[in-house]
Structure 1
Amino acid sequence: MSAPIIQLHQVHKSYGQGRPALSELTLRVEAGEALAVLGRSGSGKSTLLNLVAGLDRPSGGSVVIDGQRIDRLGEAALARHRRERIGMVFQFFNLLDDLTVRDNVMLPAQLAGMPSPRAGARAAELLEQLGVAQFATSFPSRLSGGQRQRVAVARALMNEPPLLLADEPTGALDSASAADVRDLLTELHAAGRTLVLVTHDTALAASCATRTIELLDGRIARDVQAVAR
């Protein structure tokens, strides 16, 4: 069996004296899976995503992403790991309003040291694939929510990461835009992308997840494989 792209073992995370955010959580995600993480507010969903992304560190246990034990990395190595191995999509897009769409998409590649001509060509390719090439020289504020989320996905894919993480990617969208983003994520998974989606959107989980886990009080309460479609 090939190594999993995500492997958490007995992960514990506390932020003080109260109930831990995650409690002895063990999780294995294979390359090519689309995992939806469900649960009420405070169940540990965002903490789990932050640990996988290397934005936070566990209080105990191990976090291995794409063969690299990231909980032991220093800050510089963690930042490099995120640039090269992780793409992230956020509920409120996190685009920079003073940069054009194209410059927003190019930013991760520029931070990674990619030459500008190559980064520009890659950005143009992604914007075309995601159906927003016509907005390349526009500023994010001129776009709809669904269009901004497509730009955010293009930015997340810029460095060709093996893992795409999405934190409530449809949470700030109207129903039509949410359906558009659900279709996009389904297409990305069908093309072989590994996805982890933290969401309250049961339609998103049903449409593109091959597996769903539900967190309750920092533990996995349910782990269900989707019926083959």
Structure 2
Amino acid sequence: MTEPVIELHEVSRRYDDGRTALRQASLTVCRGEAVAVLGPSGSGKSTLLHLIAGLDRPDAGTVTVDGVRVDRLDETGSALYRRSKIGMVFQFFHLVDDLTVAENLVLPARLAGTGRAEAKRRAAELLENLGIGRHTRAYPGRLSGGERQRVAVARALMNRPPLLLADEPTGALDSAAGQEVSRLLQDLNADGQTLVVVTHDLALARACTNRTVRIGDGRITEDTAAQDPAAEAVR
């Protein structure tokens, strides 16, 4: 059996007002999988992502990522965990506008203790591999939305995380740029990157993941591998 990267066991989380965000959710994601998490707003999918990322802590259950008990980490431990184990891609990029593209990538590597020369080499390699090497010295505000998201993906990969989390990665993009990012995520997974994508976009889920987890009212209601397109058309 392939080694698990994510193991959630009977995880529950309540909002501060007492409402339940997640109910006894159990989920295993193995190394090399690409999983889409689908569900309407308020269903619990963002809570699930935050628990995996160590941005939130469950009220019950356990969260283990790449051998780390994330639910037991304090604030400092959570920050170190995210720096070494998790790459995160957001809807609105969150790039530093007054840093160049290369500087945006070098920053997380330097924070993780990577030497300046090695960080610059890694940044140049990633930007070239992701097709935006010509923008190394540009500032994010001069790039298109699709290019900025590519920079964000490159930044997320700087410290070679075993897990890449993407939260609505095409939500702020037009359809053409969205398709570019979808192909990029598909290529990364084909190269072995474990990927979890939280999205409302069914087309994105079908294009770049091979497994779908649906959440409703805080519960995992469906967990299925991708189907053959012909079989799905008949359904």
* Fold equivalence (TM over 0.5): yes
Shift in Å, 1:81: 1.1
Quote the Cα distance in structure 1 between the aligned partners of 2:228 and 2:96.
39
Q: Structure 1, unaligned stretches of length 5 or more?
A: none
Shift in Å, 1:2: 4.7
Alignment-derived partner of residue 213 in structure 2: 213
Quote the Cα distance in structure 2 between the aligned partners of 1:228 and 1:139.
42
Contact kept, 8 Å, 1:3 with 1:67, in 2: the verdict is: no
Shift in Å, 1:228: 5.8
Where do 4+ consecutive residues of structure 1 move more than 6 Å?
none
Quote the Cα distance in structure 2 between the aligned partners of 1:28 and 1:102.
35
Quote the Cα distance in structure 1 between the aligned partners of 2:2 and 2:154.
28
Shift in Å, 1:3: 3.9
Quote the Cα distance in structure 2 between the aligned partners of 1:9 and 1:3.
16
Alignment-derived partner of residue 200 in structure 2: 200
Quote the Cα distance in structure 2 between the aligned partners of 1:8 and 1:141.
38
**What are the superposed Cα offsets for residues 83-111 of structure 1, whole Å, 9 maximum, x if unpaired?**
11100000000101011100001111010
**Residues paired across the two proteins, number:** 229
Which deviates further from its counterpart, 187-196 or 16-25?
16-25
Alignment-derived partner of residue 130 in structure 2: 130
Shift in Å, 1:116: 0.4
Alignment-derived partner of residue 112 in structure 1: 112
Quote the Cα distance in structure 2 between the aligned partners of 1:3 and 1:56.
25
Alignment-derived partner of residue 70 in structure 1: 70
Quote the Cα distance in structure 1 between the aligned partners of 2:180 and 2:205.
14
Aligned residue for 2:20, secondary structure, equals: coil
Which deviates further from its counterpart, 10-19 or 214-223?
10-19
Quote the Cα distance in structure 2 between the aligned partners of 1:223 and 1:58.
21
Q: Structure 2, unaligned stretches of length 5 or more?
A: 230-235
Q: Percent identity?
A: 60
What is the Cα-based RMSD across aligned positions, in Å? 1.1
Alignment-derived partner of residue 186 in structure 2: 186
Alignment-derived partner of residue 164 in structure 2: 164
Shift in Å, 1:210: 0.9
Quote the Cα distance in structure 2 between the aligned partners of 1:228 and 1:61.
34
Which amino acid letter does the alignment assign opposite residue 77 of structure 1? G
Shift in Å, 1:208: 1.4
Which amino acid letter does the alignment assign opposite residue 20 of structure 1? T
